[in-house]
A = this chain, B = another copy of it.
Amino acid sequence: MSGAPEGWHHVDGALYREFEFKDFSEAFGFMTMVAMLVERHGHHPDWSNSWNKVRISLRSHDAGGVVTQRDHDLAYEINSILRSD
């Protein structure tokens, strides 16, 4: 497990990134794509939204709440959603 995926940082023991969009509609469209992705992975984030901002925290609850390879993999795939926009 090398460095964090682009834009992600280790914050409070989690892998964290903040995303900013044009407006609420675009932010929630992104959240829906992330929701389908995390259901597919069976690995869910702690996340929040305010208008055009989405903040995502990833950690592995089943591994004692630390950041594992699963979180890195998910972070990479979330970044891919962004690029495909």
A66 at the A/B interface (Cβ < 8 Å)?
no
Q: Which of A41-78 contact B (CB under 8 A)?
A: 42, 44-51
Number of interface residues of A (CB under 8 A): 28
Are B25 and A37 touching (Cβ within 8 A)? yes
Instruction: Give the number of copies in the complex.
Output: 4
Are B29 and A25 touching (Cβ within 8 A)? no
Docked Cα-Cα span, A46 to B50, in Å, equals: 5
Docked Cα-Cα span, A42 to B31, in Å, equals: 19
B residues near A12, Cβ cutoff 8 Å? none
Minimum Cβ distance to chain B for residue A33 (Å): 4
Docked Cα-Cα span, A81 to B39, in Å, equals: 14
